[in-house]
Amino acid sequence: MAKKNAFYAQSGGVTAVINASACGVIETCRKHRDRIGKVYAGRNGIIGALTEDLIDTSKESARAIAALRHTPGGAFGSCRYKLKSLEENRAEYERLIEVFEAHNIGYFFYNGGGDSADTCLKVSQLSEKMGYPIQAIHVPKTVDNDLPITDNCPGFGSVAKYIAVSTREATLDVASMAKTSTKVFVLEVMGRHAGWIAAAGGLASDEDMELPIVILFPEVRFDQDRFLAKVDDMVRRHGYCSVVVSEGLRWPDGRFVSDQGTRDAFGHAQLGGAAPVIAGMIKEGLGLKYHWAVADYLQRAARHIASKTDVEQAYAVGKAAVEMALAGKNSVMPAIVRKSSRPYRWTIGEAPLKKVANREKMMPKSFITRDGFGITAKCREYLEPLIRGEDYPPYRNGMPRYVRLKNVAVPKRLPAFELR
């Protein structure tokens, strides 16, 4: 049987460890040169496949590929582009087949979240619907931690660690100034519909260091009066407090507190601005001095403080994706299966894409305290193993040493294609 080449691409918002998954895919493919030819990466995700903008990863040294494991961002460029259905835009699928045929591609590895799983599912159906043999495996990734079936999502553990550490450090800063200055610090974190990242802020306070933390989850409809009463109580008792607010916080009528009125490429509301809204309420309602910050890209780019657990799992799902393809699998996703929390043990399972694509896993009610402003012991038990361990990148002159690949383009063989 003739060897087929593989296509790998990154999609959606990147993470501190998405390149570790790329490393897992490429290194594993290289170990199976008898069955897999070259690995072509799509420049800027699925767009790279549609426009035949491919990168020849064989031009990269083993050392450079290994360095991806400790490099943040998306090494090949990412995108927010969702394939329409076959009925809506058959031309896109015909184009994919043209590109795959032109470059002898038989394996498709797509690294992303829920919308990316949908893209991967549609590509996996090319064999059945259009007669082109392709094995499509989704490689999970999302800081939002909202993919179903998998216990957690690569990328989340490192964001959770960053938010937990940042919340603790900022809260200690506020505590030192509270007597005569700032009494409330507000930190806005990512999380459109699921409050997993916001929940991580609760880890800032533990038995060794109890701190006054208020969390605002998207799963709990925002009640301004109850919130201000909670902050007032915290400040009266402790002299200060920190508030961790999810960007997806909603008013009782369902509107996002931070909705900017614009939409991204997937049609989702463009969020950002919950922190200043909440801080304004604190000033007007309680008259307290405050500071606020938006973690934004910092939280998902912070490879310098990545969770070792997260790095290992990100690499593992990339490796498993290739092994699944070699085993003849199609339309599946490697999933992290938690065997136990104490001690923490995990393995890799398998999830069908039909049960992953376009579905979101919300925070269980049992993870949120009864008053709606904190995390429970059950949530803490779930979160803590995911932020454990340090996996520092190498440093030189005080700065982390990250890799920038050559990203040599594969010569084009087809006419240009215009995206619609």
Catalytic residue numbers, as ranges: 144
Closest CA to 46 of 122, 155, 156, 131: 122
- DSSP structure string for 81-93: -----TTT-HHHH
Tokens matching residue 163: 């938010």
Tokens matching residue 103: 């470059």
Tokens matching residue 395: 């440093």
For 319, counting Cβ atoms within 10 Å of its Cβ (0-12 exposed, 13-18 middle, 19+ buried), the class is: buried
Which pairing describes strands 36-42 and 4-10: parallel, antiparallel, or unpaired? parallel
Which pairing describes strands 184-189 and 290-294: parallel, antiparallel, or unpaired? parallel
For residue 198, how many C-alpha atoms fall within 13 Å in the half-sphere facing its CB? 34
- DSSP structure string for 7-51: EEEE-SS--SSHHHHHHHHHHHHHTTTTTEEEEEEETTTHHHHHT
